[in-house]
Structure 1
Amino acid sequence: MIRFINSILIIMFSYLFVRAVKYITKKVFDITKFDVQRENTFKSIIVSISYYLSFSVACVLVLKEFGIIDLNQSTILTGAGIFGVIAGFASQSIIKDVLNGFFILFEKQIKVGDFVYINESFRGTVEEIGLRTTSIRDWNLRRISIPNGEIKSIMNYSRKKMRVIVHVRVSYECDPDFVMQTLEEVCEALNDKYKEFLIKNIMNEPSRPFSVYGVTDIESSSVGAKYTITGVVASFKYFSISKNARLMILVKFREKGIKVAYPKRVNIDADEYESYI
Protein backbone atom coordinates (compact mmCIF):
# COMPACT_ATOMS: atom_id res chain seq x y z
CA MET A 1 0.00 0.00 0.00
CA ILE A 2 2.85 2.36 0.89
CA ARG A 3 4.42 1.69 -2.51
CA PHE A 4 1.25 2.75 -4.31
CA ILE A 5 1.02 5.91 -2.21
CA ASN A 6 4.69 6.75 -2.87
CA SER A 7 4.20 6.12 -6.58
CA ILE A 8 1.21 8.44 -6.67
CA LEU A 9 3.24 11.09 -4.82
CA ILE A 10 6.08 10.72 -7.32
CA ILE A 11 3.68 11.20 -10.23
CA MET A 12 2.11 14.20 -8.52
CA PHE A 13 5.51 15.80 -7.90
CA SER A 14 6.45 15.18 -11.53
CA TYR A 15 3.27 16.89 -12.65
CA LEU A 16 3.88 19.80 -10.27
CA PHE A 17 7.45 20.07 -11.53
CA VAL A 18 6.25 20.52 -15.11
CA ARG A 19 3.63 23.03 -13.99
CA ALA A 20 6.28 24.94 -12.05
CA VAL A 21 8.59 25.03 -15.06
CA LYS A 22 5.77 26.36 -17.23
CA TYR A 23 4.87 29.01 -14.62
CA ILE A 24 8.46 30.15 -14.04
CA THR A 25 9.16 30.22 -17.78
CA LYS A 26 6.10 32.38 -18.37
CA LYS A 27 7.11 34.81 -15.61
CA VAL A 28 10.67 35.06 -16.92
CA PHE A 29 9.56 35.79 -20.47
CA ASP A 30 7.02 38.33 -19.21
CA ILE A 31 9.91 40.58 -18.18
CA THR A 32 12.01 40.03 -21.29
CA LYS A 33 11.89 42.03 -24.50
CA PHE A 34 11.71 39.17 -26.98
CA ASP A 35 8.98 39.25 -29.60
CA VAL A 36 5.95 37.11 -28.82
CA GLN A 37 6.67 34.45 -31.44
CA ARG A 38 10.26 34.00 -30.20
CA GLU A 39 9.05 33.71 -26.59
CA ASN A 40 6.46 31.09 -27.52
CA THR A 41 9.11 29.11 -29.39
CA PHE A 42 11.54 29.04 -26.45
CA LYS A 43 8.74 28.23 -24.03
CA SER A 44 7.71 25.33 -26.23
CA ILE A 45 11.26 23.90 -26.18
CA ILE A 46 11.72 24.36 -22.41
CA VAL A 47 8.38 22.74 -21.58
CA SER A 48 9.15 19.85 -23.93
CA ILE A 49 12.48 19.23 -22.15
CA SER A 50 10.79 19.36 -18.73
CA TYR A 51 8.21 16.78 -19.86
CA TYR A 52 10.88 14.32 -20.97
CA LEU A 53 12.98 14.90 -17.84
CA SER A 54 10.12 14.52 -15.35
CA PHE A 55 8.73 11.46 -17.14
CA SER A 56 12.13 9.69 -17.14
CA VAL A 57 12.85 10.42 -13.48
CA ALA A 58 9.32 9.44 -12.41
CA CYS A 59 9.55 6.10 -14.25
CA VAL A 60 12.86 5.24 -12.57
CA LEU A 61 11.60 6.16 -9.09
CA VAL A 62 8.32 4.25 -9.49
CA LEU A 63 10.20 1.16 -10.68
CA LYS A 64 12.51 1.50 -7.67
CA GLU A 65 9.50 1.66 -5.32
CA PHE A 66 8.28 -1.72 -6.58
CA GLY A 67 11.75 -3.24 -6.40
CA ILE A 68 12.04 -3.75 -10.14
CA ILE A 69 15.32 -1.86 -10.20
CA ASP A 70 17.89 -1.06 -7.51
CA LEU A 71 19.70 2.24 -7.61
CA ASN A 72 22.99 1.03 -6.12
CA GLN A 73 26.18 1.69 -8.03
CA SER A 74 26.66 -1.75 -9.60
CA THR A 75 23.04 -1.92 -10.73
CA ILE A 76 23.25 1.55 -12.21
CA LEU A 77 26.38 0.60 -14.16
CA THR A 78 24.82 -2.65 -15.37
CA GLY A 79 21.57 -0.91 -16.26
CA ALA A 80 23.48 1.81 -18.02
CA GLY A 81 25.28 -0.79 -20.11
CA ILE A 82 22.06 -2.55 -21.08
CA PHE A 83 20.35 0.75 -21.72
CA GLY A 84 23.28 1.83 -23.87
CA VAL A 85 22.97 -1.25 -26.09
CA ILE A 86 19.21 -0.78 -26.46
CA ALA A 87 19.57 2.93 -27.02
CA GLY A 88 22.16 2.30 -29.69
CA PHE A 89 19.54 0.56 -31.80
CA ALA A 90 16.46 2.53 -30.81
CA SER A 91 17.69 6.08 -30.46
CA GLN A 92 19.18 6.78 -33.89
CA SER A 93 15.98 8.36 -35.15
CA ILE A 94 15.46 10.14 -31.81
CA ILE A 95 18.92 11.70 -31.96
CA LYS A 96 18.26 12.71 -35.55
CA ASP A 97 14.95 14.32 -34.53
CA VAL A 98 16.53 16.20 -31.61
CA LEU A 99 19.52 17.47 -33.59
CA ASN A 100 17.39 18.59 -36.52
CA GLY A 101 15.03 20.30 -34.06
CA PHE A 102 17.91 22.33 -32.63
CA PHE A 103 19.10 23.28 -36.11
CA ILE A 104 15.59 24.42 -37.03
CA LEU A 105 15.40 26.47 -33.84
CA PHE A 106 18.82 28.11 -33.85
CA GLU A 107 18.82 28.79 -37.59
CA LYS A 108 15.49 30.55 -37.01
CA GLN A 109 13.80 28.64 -39.81
CA ILE A 110 10.41 28.73 -38.07
CA LYS A 111 8.80 30.09 -34.92
CA VAL A 112 5.60 29.33 -33.06
CA GLY A 113 2.84 31.20 -34.88
CA ASP A 114 4.45 31.04 -38.33
CA PHE A 115 2.39 29.80 -41.26
CA VAL A 116 4.50 27.16 -43.00
CA TYR A 117 4.48 24.57 -45.77
CA ILE A 118 6.58 21.57 -44.72
CA ASN A 119 7.96 18.93 -47.10
CA GLU A 120 5.54 20.22 -49.75
CA SER A 121 2.90 18.14 -47.97
CA PHE A 122 1.82 19.81 -44.71
CA ARG A 123 0.52 23.37 -44.55
CA GLY A 124 -0.55 25.14 -41.36
CA THR A 125 0.33 27.33 -38.38
CA VAL A 126 3.15 26.20 -36.08
CA GLU A 127 1.72 25.46 -32.63
CA GLU A 128 4.63 23.75 -30.91
CA ILE A 129 8.30 23.02 -31.53
CA GLY A 130 9.39 20.12 -29.33
CA LEU A 131 12.58 18.12 -28.90
CA ARG A 132 11.39 15.41 -31.28
CA THR A 133 8.45 16.79 -33.21
CA THR A 134 7.03 19.99 -34.63
CA SER A 135 3.25 20.38 -34.47
CA ILE A 136 1.18 22.49 -36.85
CA ARG A 137 -2.54 23.20 -37.12
CA ASP A 138 -3.90 23.02 -40.67
CA TRP A 139 -6.86 24.83 -42.25
CA ASN A 140 -9.27 22.13 -41.03
CA LEU A 141 -7.93 22.65 -37.47
CA ARG A 142 -6.32 19.23 -37.49
CA ARG A 143 -3.13 19.03 -35.41
CA ILE A 144 -0.28 17.47 -37.39
CA SER A 145 2.90 16.32 -35.62
CA ILE A 146 5.96 15.87 -37.83
CA PRO A 147 9.21 14.26 -36.56
CA ASN A 148 11.95 16.89 -36.79
CA GLY A 149 14.26 14.41 -38.49
CA GLU A 150 11.81 14.03 -41.37
CA ILE A 151 11.58 17.76 -42.11
CA LYS A 152 13.41 18.24 -45.40
CA SER A 153 12.02 21.54 -46.64
CA ILE A 154 10.22 24.47 -45.05
CA MET A 155 8.37 27.21 -46.89
CA ASN A 156 7.74 30.01 -44.39
CA TYR A 157 4.94 32.48 -45.17
CA SER A 158 5.62 34.61 -42.08
CA ARG A 159 8.94 36.33 -42.72
CA LYS A 160 8.21 40.09 -42.79
CA LYS A 161 7.30 40.43 -46.47
CA MET A 162 5.84 38.47 -49.34
CA ARG A 163 5.10 39.19 -52.96
CA VAL A 164 1.46 38.93 -53.97
CA ILE A 165 1.24 37.55 -57.52
CA VAL A 166 -2.19 37.43 -59.15
CA HIS A 167 -2.81 35.99 -62.62
CA VAL A 168 -5.91 36.38 -64.75
CA ARG A 169 -6.68 35.09 -68.24
CA VAL A 170 -8.59 37.25 -70.68
CA SER A 171 -9.89 36.35 -74.13
CA TYR A 172 -7.62 37.12 -77.06
CA GLU A 173 -10.47 39.16 -78.56
CA CYS A 174 -10.19 41.79 -75.78
CA ASP A 175 -8.11 44.88 -76.44
CA PRO A 176 -4.81 44.32 -74.52
CA ASP A 177 -4.35 48.05 -73.90
CA PHE A 178 -7.83 48.28 -72.37
CA VAL A 179 -7.15 45.24 -70.16
CA MET A 180 -3.82 46.71 -69.01
CA GLN A 181 -5.48 50.05 -68.25
CA THR A 182 -8.17 48.32 -66.20
CA LEU A 183 -5.56 46.36 -64.24
CA GLU A 184 -3.68 49.61 -63.55
CA GLU A 185 -6.87 50.94 -61.96
CA VAL A 186 -7.08 47.81 -59.82
CA CYS A 187 -3.47 48.32 -58.70
CA GLU A 188 -4.15 51.95 -57.79
CA ALA A 189 -7.15 50.86 -55.72
CA LEU A 190 -5.06 48.18 -53.97
CA ASN A 191 -2.27 50.62 -53.20
CA ASP A 192 -4.74 53.08 -51.72
CA LYS A 193 -6.66 50.50 -49.68
CA TYR A 194 -3.65 48.62 -48.31
CA LYS A 195 -1.00 51.37 -48.22
CA GLU A 196 -0.23 50.74 -44.53
CA PHE A 197 0.61 47.08 -45.28
CA LEU A 198 2.88 47.73 -48.29
CA ILE A 199 6.60 47.28 -47.66
CA LYS A 200 8.18 50.72 -47.37
CA ASN A 201 11.70 52.02 -48.03
CA ILE A 202 13.80 54.31 -45.82
CA MET A 203 11.77 57.32 -46.99
CA ASN A 204 8.64 55.59 -45.63
CA GLU A 205 7.23 55.22 -49.13
CA PRO A 206 6.08 51.94 -50.68
CA SER A 207 9.16 50.48 -52.35
CA ARG A 208 7.30 47.89 -54.43
CA PRO A 209 3.61 48.81 -54.59
CA PHE A 210 1.08 46.97 -56.73
CA SER A 211 1.71 47.34 -60.43
CA VAL A 212 0.90 45.54 -63.66
CA TYR A 213 3.70 43.13 -64.45
CA GLY A 214 2.37 42.60 -67.95
CA VAL A 215 1.28 39.80 -70.27
CA THR A 216 3.00 36.68 -68.95
CA ASP A 217 1.65 34.00 -71.29
CA ILE A 218 -0.02 33.78 -74.70
CA GLU A 219 0.95 30.24 -75.73
CA SER A 220 0.09 27.61 -73.14
CA SER A 221 -3.68 28.16 -73.23
CA SER A 222 -5.99 28.51 -76.22
CA VAL A 223 -8.65 30.37 -74.23
CA GLY A 224 -6.79 33.63 -73.68
CA ALA A 225 -3.72 35.62 -72.66
CA LYS A 226 -2.50 35.66 -69.08
CA TYR A 227 -2.00 39.02 -67.35
CA THR A 228 -0.18 39.42 -64.03
CA ILE A 229 -0.11 42.02 -61.28
CA THR A 230 2.32 42.02 -58.34
CA GLY A 231 2.91 43.85 -55.06
CA VAL A 232 5.03 43.32 -51.93
CA VAL A 233 3.10 43.32 -48.65
CA ALA A 234 3.55 42.48 -44.97
CA SER A 235 3.54 38.69 -44.61
CA PHE A 236 0.68 38.55 -42.11
CA LYS A 237 -1.62 40.24 -44.67
CA TYR A 238 -0.51 38.15 -47.65
CA PHE A 239 -3.49 35.79 -47.86
CA SER A 240 -6.22 38.36 -47.22
CA ILE A 241 -4.77 40.85 -49.71
CA SER A 242 -4.27 38.12 -52.34
CA LYS A 243 -7.88 37.06 -51.94
CA ASN A 244 -9.21 40.62 -52.13
CA ALA A 245 -7.01 41.45 -55.11
CA ARG A 246 -8.68 38.68 -57.12
CA LEU A 247 -12.10 39.91 -56.04
CA MET A 248 -11.29 43.48 -57.08
CA ILE A 249 -10.17 42.27 -60.50
CA LEU A 250 -13.44 40.43 -61.06
CA VAL A 251 -15.49 43.43 -59.91
CA LYS A 252 -13.53 45.88 -62.09
CA PHE A 253 -13.70 43.57 -65.11
CA ARG A 254 -17.48 43.32 -64.69
CA GLU A 255 -17.74 47.12 -64.61
CA LYS A 256 -15.65 47.42 -67.78
CA GLY A 257 -17.32 44.56 -69.61
CA ILE A 258 -14.14 42.48 -69.73
CA LYS A 259 -14.80 38.75 -69.54
CA VAL A 260 -12.40 36.33 -67.92
CA ALA A 261 -11.40 33.61 -70.39
CA TYR A 262 -12.61 30.06 -69.87
CA PRO A 263 -12.88 26.90 -72.01
CA LYS A 264 -15.97 26.71 -74.20
CA ARG A 265 -17.62 23.77 -75.92
CA VAL A 266 -19.22 24.33 -79.31
CA ASN A 267 -21.79 21.77 -80.47
CA ILE A 268 -22.25 21.41 -84.22
CA ASP A 269 -25.11 19.30 -85.56
CA ALA A 270 -24.75 17.01 -88.55
CA ASP A 271 -26.24 19.44 -91.09
CA GLU A 272 -23.89 22.24 -90.04
CA TYR A 273 -20.94 19.85 -90.12
CA GLU A 274 -21.75 18.83 -93.67
CA SER A 275 -22.03 22.47 -94.69
CA TYR A 276 -18.58 23.15 -93.29
CA ILE A 277 -17.22 20.25 -95.31
Structure 2
Amino acid sequence: MENVKEVLTKKSKKSKLEQRGKIISFLCISIIVLVVLSIFYFVASKGLATFFVDKVNVFDFLFGTEWNPSQVGSDGQPMVGALPMIVGSFLVTFLSAIVATPFAIGAAVFMVEISPKNGQKLLQPVIELLVGIPSVVYGFIGLSIIVPVIRALFGGTGFGILAGTFVLFVMILPTVTTMTVDALKAVPRHYREASLALGATRWQTIYKVVLRAAIPGILTAVVFGMARAFGEALAIQMVIGNAALMPTSLVTPASTLTSILTMGIGNTIMGTVENNVLWSLALILLLMSLIFNIVIRLIGKKGAMK
Protein backbone atom coordinates (compact mmCIF):
# COMPACT_ATOMS: atom_id res chain seq x y z
CA MET A 1 0.00 0.00 0.00
CA GLU A 2 2.84 2.35 0.85
CA ASN A 3 4.49 1.61 -2.50
CA VAL A 4 1.27 2.52 -4.33
CA LYS A 5 1.00 5.80 -2.39
CA GLU A 6 4.63 6.60 -3.13
CA VAL A 7 4.15 5.93 -6.84
CA LEU A 8 1.02 8.11 -6.98
CA THR A 9 2.58 11.05 -5.13
CA LYS A 10 5.92 10.92 -6.89
CA LYS A 11 6.40 13.50 -9.62
CA SER A 12 6.70 12.13 -13.11
CA LYS A 13 9.45 13.08 -15.53
CA LYS A 14 7.06 15.24 -17.53
CA SER A 15 5.93 17.21 -14.47
CA LYS A 16 9.58 17.75 -13.49
CA LEU A 17 10.37 18.98 -17.00
CA GLU A 18 7.35 21.28 -16.89
CA GLN A 19 8.41 22.72 -13.54
CA ARG A 20 11.95 23.17 -14.80
CA GLY A 21 10.63 24.94 -17.87
CA LYS A 22 8.53 27.29 -15.72
CA ILE A 23 11.57 28.16 -13.61
CA ILE A 24 13.70 28.88 -16.70
CA SER A 25 10.92 30.99 -18.24
CA PHE A 26 10.51 32.94 -14.99
CA LEU A 27 14.25 33.59 -14.81
CA CYS A 28 14.35 34.79 -18.43
CA ILE A 29 11.38 37.11 -17.88
CA SER A 30 12.96 38.42 -14.67
CA ILE A 31 16.21 39.18 -16.50
CA ILE A 32 14.34 41.03 -19.25
CA VAL A 33 12.37 43.09 -16.72
CA LEU A 34 15.55 43.83 -14.77
CA VAL A 35 17.38 44.98 -17.90
CA VAL A 36 14.49 47.27 -18.90
CA LEU A 37 14.22 48.77 -15.41
CA SER A 38 18.00 49.23 -15.31
CA ILE A 39 17.94 51.10 -18.62
CA PHE A 40 15.13 53.35 -17.41
CA TYR A 41 16.94 54.02 -14.13
CA PHE A 42 20.28 54.75 -15.80
CA VAL A 43 18.86 57.11 -18.43
CA ALA A 44 16.55 58.82 -15.92
CA SER A 45 19.33 59.34 -13.37
CA LYS A 46 21.58 60.88 -16.01
CA GLY A 47 18.82 62.92 -17.65
CA LEU A 48 17.39 64.33 -14.42
CA ALA A 49 20.85 65.49 -13.34
CA THR A 50 20.35 68.47 -15.65
CA PHE A 51 17.55 69.72 -13.41
CA PHE A 52 18.65 68.54 -9.95
CA VAL A 53 22.44 68.92 -10.20
CA ASP A 54 22.95 71.66 -12.79
CA LYS A 55 19.75 73.49 -11.65
CA VAL A 56 18.42 74.02 -15.17
CA ASN A 57 14.80 75.10 -15.25
CA VAL A 58 12.55 72.40 -16.74
CA PHE A 59 10.42 74.88 -18.68
CA ASP A 60 13.47 76.66 -20.06
CA PHE A 61 14.77 73.29 -21.23
CA LEU A 62 11.52 72.11 -22.83
CA PHE A 63 10.39 75.41 -24.33
CA GLY A 64 13.62 77.31 -24.88
CA THR A 65 14.72 77.90 -28.46
CA GLU A 66 18.47 78.54 -28.03
CA TRP A 67 20.79 75.53 -27.92
CA ASN A 68 24.41 76.14 -26.94
CA PRO A 69 25.17 74.16 -23.75
CA SER A 70 28.76 75.43 -23.53
CA GLN A 71 27.60 79.04 -23.08
CA VAL A 72 25.56 80.80 -20.40
CA GLY A 73 22.69 83.13 -21.17
CA SER A 74 21.91 86.51 -19.67
CA ASP A 75 19.95 84.84 -16.86
CA GLY A 76 22.99 82.83 -15.76
CA GLN A 77 21.53 79.55 -17.04
CA PRO A 78 23.08 77.36 -19.75
CA MET A 79 21.53 77.86 -23.20
CA VAL A 80 19.88 74.45 -23.45
CA GLY A 81 16.51 75.07 -25.09
CA ALA A 82 15.47 71.73 -26.59
CA LEU A 83 12.29 72.91 -28.32
CA PRO A 84 13.85 73.10 -31.84
CA MET A 85 14.89 69.42 -31.65
CA ILE A 86 11.56 68.32 -30.18
CA VAL A 87 9.63 70.16 -32.91
CA GLY A 88 11.94 68.77 -35.59
CA SER A 89 11.48 65.19 -34.34
CA PHE A 90 7.70 65.47 -34.28
CA LEU A 91 7.54 67.16 -37.68
CA VAL A 92 9.55 64.51 -39.54
CA THR A 93 7.72 61.75 -37.66
CA PHE A 94 4.19 62.94 -38.43
CA LEU A 95 4.94 63.99 -42.00
CA SER A 96 6.63 60.69 -42.86
CA ALA A 97 3.69 58.78 -41.34
CA ILE A 98 1.20 60.89 -43.31
CA VAL A 99 3.06 60.21 -46.57
CA ALA A 100 3.69 56.51 -45.89
CA THR A 101 0.18 55.52 -44.75
CA PRO A 102 -1.64 55.83 -48.13
CA PHE A 103 1.14 53.94 -49.92
CA ALA A 104 1.16 51.23 -47.26
CA ILE A 105 -2.62 50.79 -47.34
CA GLY A 106 -2.63 50.69 -51.14
CA ALA A 107 0.12 48.08 -51.26
CA ALA A 108 -1.58 46.01 -48.56
CA VAL A 109 -4.94 46.10 -50.34
CA PHE A 110 -3.26 44.97 -53.56
CA MET A 111 -1.45 42.11 -51.80
CA VAL A 112 -4.47 40.86 -49.88
CA GLU A 113 -7.63 41.81 -51.79
CA ILE A 114 -6.82 42.49 -55.42
CA SER A 115 -4.00 40.20 -56.50
CA PRO A 116 -2.62 38.03 -53.68
CA LYS A 117 -0.49 35.88 -56.01
CA ASN A 118 1.19 38.75 -57.83
CA GLY A 119 1.46 40.66 -54.55
CA GLN A 120 3.39 37.81 -52.96
CA LYS A 121 5.63 37.49 -56.01
CA LEU A 122 6.28 41.18 -56.69
CA LEU A 123 5.72 43.31 -53.61
CA GLN A 124 6.72 40.93 -50.84
CA PRO A 125 10.37 40.59 -52.01
CA VAL A 126 10.61 44.37 -52.42
CA ILE A 127 9.30 44.98 -48.90
CA GLU A 128 11.70 42.41 -47.46
CA LEU A 129 14.57 44.07 -49.34
CA LEU A 130 13.66 47.49 -47.95
CA VAL A 131 13.64 46.09 -44.41
CA GLY A 132 17.16 44.69 -44.81
CA ILE A 133 18.80 47.89 -46.10
CA PRO A 134 20.96 49.55 -43.39
CA SER A 135 20.09 53.05 -42.18
CA VAL A 136 23.37 54.50 -43.43
CA VAL A 137 22.48 53.42 -46.97
CA TYR A 138 19.15 55.25 -46.76
CA GLY A 139 20.97 58.30 -45.47
CA PHE A 140 23.57 58.16 -48.24
CA ILE A 141 20.86 57.81 -50.91
CA GLY A 142 19.02 60.76 -49.39
CA LEU A 143 22.24 62.79 -49.33
CA SER A 144 23.07 61.91 -52.95
CA ILE A 145 19.61 62.11 -54.55
CA ILE A 146 16.90 63.67 -52.38
CA VAL A 147 18.90 66.65 -51.08
CA PRO A 148 20.10 67.75 -54.59
CA VAL A 149 16.57 67.40 -55.99
CA ILE A 150 15.09 69.54 -53.20
CA ARG A 151 17.90 72.06 -53.70
CA ALA A 152 17.12 72.27 -57.42
CA LEU A 153 13.36 72.60 -56.90
CA PHE A 154 13.15 74.87 -53.85
CA GLY A 155 16.59 76.45 -53.58
CA GLY A 156 18.65 76.70 -50.43
CA THR A 157 20.90 73.89 -49.23
CA GLY A 158 18.39 71.08 -49.75
CA PHE A 159 18.80 69.92 -46.16
CA GLY A 160 15.81 70.10 -43.86
CA ILE A 161 12.55 68.58 -42.68
CA LEU A 162 11.40 67.73 -46.22
CA ALA A 163 14.51 65.68 -47.01
CA GLY A 164 14.21 63.88 -43.68
CA THR A 165 10.53 63.17 -44.36
CA PHE A 166 11.25 61.47 -47.67
CA VAL A 167 14.03 59.35 -46.19
CA LEU A 168 11.93 58.26 -43.21
CA PHE A 169 8.94 57.63 -45.48
CA VAL A 170 10.89 54.94 -47.33
CA MET A 171 12.30 53.55 -44.09
CA ILE A 172 8.97 53.09 -42.29
CA LEU A 173 7.01 52.00 -45.38
CA PRO A 174 7.91 48.27 -45.01
CA THR A 175 6.89 48.23 -41.34
CA VAL A 176 3.54 49.92 -41.93
CA THR A 177 2.83 47.83 -45.03
CA THR A 178 3.63 44.48 -43.39
CA MET A 179 1.49 45.19 -40.34
CA THR A 180 -1.36 46.51 -42.51
CA VAL A 181 -1.25 43.28 -44.53
CA ASP A 182 -1.58 41.29 -41.32
CA ALA A 183 -4.50 43.50 -40.23
CA LEU A 184 -6.35 42.94 -43.52
CA LYS A 185 -5.74 39.20 -43.39
CA ALA A 186 -7.18 39.12 -39.87
CA VAL A 187 -10.57 40.37 -41.12
CA PRO A 188 -12.89 37.30 -41.18
CA ARG A 189 -13.77 35.99 -44.63
CA HIS A 190 -17.49 35.98 -43.89
CA TYR A 191 -17.40 39.79 -43.66
CA ARG A 192 -16.48 39.92 -47.34
CA GLU A 193 -18.95 37.20 -48.30
CA ALA A 194 -21.83 38.89 -46.47
CA SER A 195 -21.04 42.24 -48.10
CA LEU A 196 -20.90 40.74 -51.60
CA ALA A 197 -24.08 38.78 -50.94
CA LEU A 198 -25.89 42.03 -50.11
CA GLY A 199 -24.97 43.41 -53.54
CA ALA A 200 -21.92 45.50 -52.70
CA THR A 201 -19.24 45.80 -55.33
CA ARG A 202 -15.69 44.63 -54.75
CA TRP A 203 -14.39 48.14 -54.04
CA GLN A 204 -17.34 48.91 -51.76
CA THR A 205 -16.56 45.77 -49.81
CA ILE A 206 -12.88 46.73 -49.51
CA TYR A 207 -13.57 50.33 -48.51
CA LYS A 208 -16.66 50.04 -46.32
CA VAL A 209 -16.15 46.60 -44.78
CA VAL A 210 -12.58 45.31 -44.89
CA LEU A 211 -10.71 48.56 -44.23
CA ARG A 212 -13.12 49.69 -41.53
CA ALA A 213 -12.88 46.34 -39.76
CA ALA A 214 -9.07 46.56 -39.94
CA ILE A 215 -8.83 50.13 -38.60
CA PRO A 216 -7.36 49.15 -35.19
CA GLY A 217 -4.66 47.06 -36.87
CA ILE A 218 -3.90 49.82 -39.39
CA LEU A 219 -3.64 52.43 -36.63
CA THR A 220 -1.28 50.13 -34.74
CA ALA A 221 0.86 49.83 -37.88
CA VAL A 222 0.99 53.61 -38.27
CA VAL A 223 1.98 54.13 -34.62
CA PHE A 224 4.69 51.48 -34.96
CA GLY A 225 5.99 53.31 -38.02
CA MET A 226 5.97 56.61 -36.12
CA ALA A 227 7.91 55.02 -33.26
CA ARG A 228 10.44 53.77 -35.80
CA ALA A 229 10.73 57.22 -37.38
CA PHE A 230 10.97 59.07 -34.06
CA GLY A 231 13.94 56.99 -32.94
CA GLU A 232 15.87 56.96 -36.22
CA ALA A 233 19.26 58.63 -35.88
CA LEU A 234 21.90 58.07 -38.56
CA ALA A 235 19.85 58.45 -41.74
CA ILE A 236 18.03 61.56 -40.54
CA GLN A 237 21.28 63.11 -39.33
CA MET A 238 22.72 62.91 -42.85
CA VAL A 239 19.91 64.86 -44.55
CA ILE A 240 18.28 67.22 -42.06
CA GLY A 241 21.12 69.74 -41.72
CA ASN A 242 21.71 69.42 -37.95
CA ALA A 243 21.05 73.09 -37.19
CA ALA A 244 19.65 73.51 -33.67
CA LEU A 245 17.21 76.19 -34.81
CA MET A 246 13.43 76.39 -34.83
CA PRO A 247 12.24 75.17 -38.27
CA THR A 248 10.92 78.11 -40.28
CA SER A 249 10.07 75.99 -43.34
CA LEU A 250 10.37 72.45 -44.60
CA VAL A 251 13.46 73.22 -46.68
CA THR A 252 15.64 75.00 -44.12
CA PRO A 253 18.21 73.09 -42.03
CA ALA A 254 16.81 71.74 -38.78
CA SER A 255 17.61 69.05 -36.24
CA THR A 256 16.02 66.23 -34.26
CA LEU A 257 16.63 64.78 -30.83
CA THR A 258 18.52 61.84 -32.30
CA SER A 259 20.68 63.92 -34.65
CA ILE A 260 21.89 66.20 -31.84
CA LEU A 261 22.50 63.15 -29.63
CA THR A 262 24.60 61.28 -32.17
CA MET A 263 26.63 64.38 -33.00
CA GLY A 264 27.33 65.49 -29.45
CA ILE A 265 27.48 62.45 -27.18
CA GLY A 266 31.04 61.54 -28.21
CA ASN A 267 32.34 65.07 -27.79
CA THR A 268 31.36 65.70 -24.19
CA ILE A 269 32.74 64.72 -20.80
CA MET A 270 30.60 62.64 -18.45
CA GLY A 271 29.10 64.70 -15.65
CA THR A 272 29.33 68.08 -17.36
CA VAL A 273 26.34 70.20 -18.31
CA GLU A 274 26.96 69.48 -21.98
CA ASN A 275 26.78 65.75 -21.31
CA ASN A 276 23.83 65.88 -18.90
CA VAL A 277 21.59 67.79 -21.31
CA LEU A 278 22.23 65.14 -23.97
CA TRP A 279 21.08 62.50 -21.48
CA SER A 280 17.99 64.64 -20.92
CA LEU A 281 17.29 64.45 -24.66
CA ALA A 282 17.74 60.68 -24.43
CA LEU A 283 15.22 60.62 -21.56
CA ILE A 284 12.69 62.43 -23.76
CA LEU A 285 13.23 59.80 -26.47
CA LEU A 286 12.74 57.03 -23.94
CA LEU A 287 9.54 58.56 -22.61
CA MET A 288 8.23 59.01 -26.15
CA SER A 289 8.88 55.34 -26.93
CA LEU A 290 6.92 54.48 -23.77
CA ILE A 291 4.05 56.70 -24.90
CA PHE A 292 4.03 55.06 -28.33
CA ASN A 293 3.82 51.63 -26.69
CA ILE A 294 0.96 52.75 -24.45
CA VAL A 295 -0.92 54.11 -27.47
CA ILE A 296 -0.40 50.81 -29.31
CA ARG A 297 -1.77 48.85 -26.35
CA LEU A 298 -4.81 51.14 -26.10
CA ILE A 299 -5.54 50.71 -29.81
CA GLY A 300 -5.15 46.94 -29.44
CA LYS A 301 -7.58 46.85 -26.52
CA LYS A 302 -10.11 48.92 -28.45
CA GLY A 303 -9.84 46.55 -31.39
CA ALA A 304 -10.22 43.50 -29.12
CA MET A 305 -13.38 44.99 -27.56
CA LYS A 306 -14.94 45.27 -31.01
TM-score, length basis structure 1? 0.25
Structure with the largest fraction of helix: 2
Structure with the largest fraction of strand: 1
User: Is the radius of gyration larger for structure 1 or structure 2?
Assistant: 1
Structure scoring higher RCO (CA < 8 A, sep ≥ 6) equals 2
TM-score, length basis structure 2? 0.23
